[in-house]
């Protein structure tokens, strides 16, 4: 009945998002941790095809691409 009761007993300590199943919370935390660690690793996985400048976040590359669209 856990699925149909609507009770979400498992919540994230970071963002307070709640889940009905513990494995859903574990998946959420795993995804969050990967994204969080990317911020601190210094890896710049997104690079410009025009000038090769690299960024850690996709939205930063999108902002940069506006320079080439002028």
Quickly state the pLDDT bin for 66 (edges 50, 70, 90): very high
Domain boundaries, the chain: 2-68
With a cut of 60, say whether residue 1 has pLDDT above it. Answer: no
Decide if domain 2-68 falls under CATH 1.10.10.
Answer: no
The C-alpha atoms of residue 50 and residue 34 are separated, in whole angstroms, by 28
Q: How far is CA 6 from CA 1, 2, 59, 65, in A?
A: 9, 7, 35, 44
How confident is residue 13, by pLDDT bands cut at 50, 70 and 90? confident
Tens digits of residue pLDDT in 20-61: 999 999 999 888 888 777 777 788 989 999 999 999 889 999
């Amino acid at each position: 009945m856990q699925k149909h009761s609507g009770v979400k007993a498992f919540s994230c300590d970071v963002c307070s998002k709640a889940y009905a199943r513990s494995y859903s919370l574990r998946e959420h935390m795993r995804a969050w941790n990967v994204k969080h660690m990317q911020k601190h690793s210094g890896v710049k996985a997104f690079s410009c095809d025009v000038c090769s400048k690299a960024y850690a976040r996709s939205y930063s590359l999108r902002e940069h691409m506006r320079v080439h669209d002028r």
